[in-house]
């Protein structure tokens, strides 16, 4: 049986805060009854549950427990279609985007002219599954990869702005600058980091958008095209390279926010 440390006020399931002395990490088990009776008691009595995963986040929210990250952060992770719909419903500026199911693929060229962007609605992290489509042959090749086409207008840009936010507090912002001839700015696609001349209006839009969407552990990606800012997507599995480049220890930052109550926007009682 896993023994609880003395004076441990916080319970976590996921491993993001593994090793933090104030947090007891129980691990993620597929069945609730896989936890020992003692662990189940700890979970049931805990006021706050950290990193519960999508599966348990739903149950804890129903039970009225405070969780981090939010249920919305889990629900919209790697869900481009849902994010786009949410952005539109919340009037968050977003590139013109339409979804086409198989029977409506023929309508794509009625609504868009080349070039435009085609994305896989899922599995497109790190720039994979994102395509700049410039002709009918490239469109046909893209449509062979997916039954649900996610088509987005192409906005010219040579960089995008990544803003990392913890409980809606901008922790770090940096440019991701693409290489010549590559429309992708992802670091895994050869992009480079820059911390120079970070625009406050972009950071402000990222913060407002994350707060409106209730995404409280997120990397928001934005671009500026012809003087207008657009939110491209929210990344719940944001990379750590930018943080490490600036010498930031994300685990320690979260620990300090947890102990101060700032992880939940309130003062801690412990």
Strand-pair partners of 24 = 11
CATH code, 156-257: 3.30.470.20
Q: What is the token pair recorded at 25? A: 């990490």
| Confidence check: pLDDT of 3 > 50 | no
Mean pLDDT value of segment 240-250: 94
Neighbouring residues of 250: CB distance < 8 A, sequence distance ≥ 6:
240, 243
Q: What angle do helix axes 200-213 and 80-89 make, rounded to 10 degrees? A: 100
Q: Which CATH superfamily is domain 96-153 in?
A: ATP-grasp fold, A domain (3.30.1490.20)
Q: What is the token pair recorded at 12? A: 């976590």
How does pLDDT run across 33-78, given as a tens digit for each residue?
A: 999 999 999 999 999 999 999 999 999 999 999 999 999 999 999 9
pTM of the model: 0.91
189 with 182: CB under 8 angstroms? yes
Q: What is the token pair recorded at 104? A: 């409506």
What is the model's pLDDT at position 124?
61
How does pLDDT run across 89-114, given as a tens digit for each residue?
A: 999 999 999 999 999 999 999 999 99
Domain ranges of the chain: 10-68, 96-153, 156-257
| Confidence check: pLDDT of 225 > 60 | yes
How does pLDDT run across 156-215, given as a tens digit for each residue?
A: 999 999 999 999 999 999 999 988 777 776 766 667 899 999 999 999 999 999 999 999
Whether the upstream peptide bond of residue 44 has omega within 30° of 0, thus cis, is no
pLDDT band with cut points at 50, 70 and 90 for residue 267:
very low
| Confidence check: pLDDT of 270 > 50 | no
Q: Which value, in Å, is the radius of gyration of the alpha carbons in the chain?
A: 21
H or E element that contains 245: helix 241-245
């Amino acid at each position: 049986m896993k023994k609880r440390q003395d004076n441990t006020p916080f319970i976590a399931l996921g491993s993001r805060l593994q090793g933090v002395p104030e947090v007891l990490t129980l691990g993620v088990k597929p069945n609730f009854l896989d936890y020992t009776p003692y662990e189940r008691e700890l979970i049931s009595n805990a006021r706050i549950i950290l990193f519960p995963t999508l599966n348990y986040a739903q149950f804890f929210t129903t039970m009225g427990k405070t969780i981090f990250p939010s249920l919305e952060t889990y629900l919209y992770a790697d869900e481009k279609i849902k994010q786009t719909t949410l952005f539109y419903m919340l009037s968050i500026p977003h590139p013109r985007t339409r979804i086409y199911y198989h029977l409506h693929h023929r309508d794509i060229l009625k609504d868009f002219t080349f070039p435009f962007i085609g994305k896989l609605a899922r599995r497109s992290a790190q720039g994979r599954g994102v395509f700049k489509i410039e002709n009918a042959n490239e469109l046909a090749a893209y449509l062979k990869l997916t039954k649900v086409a996610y088509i987005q207008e192409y906005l010219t840009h040579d960089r995008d702005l990544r803003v990392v936010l913890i409980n809606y507090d901008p922790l770090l912002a940096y440019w991701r600058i693409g290489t010549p001839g590559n429309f992708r700015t992802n670091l895994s696609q050869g992009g480079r980091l820059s911390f120079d001349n970070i625009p406050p209006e972009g950071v402000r839009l990222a913060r407002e958008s994350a707060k409106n969407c209730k995404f409280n552990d997120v990397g928001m990606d934005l671009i500026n095209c012809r003087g207008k800012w657009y939110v491209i997507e929210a990344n719940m599995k944001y990379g750590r390279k930018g943080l490490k480049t600036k010498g930031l220890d994300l685990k320690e930052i979260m620990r300090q926010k947890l102990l101060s109550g700032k992880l939940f926007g309130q003062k801690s009682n412990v």
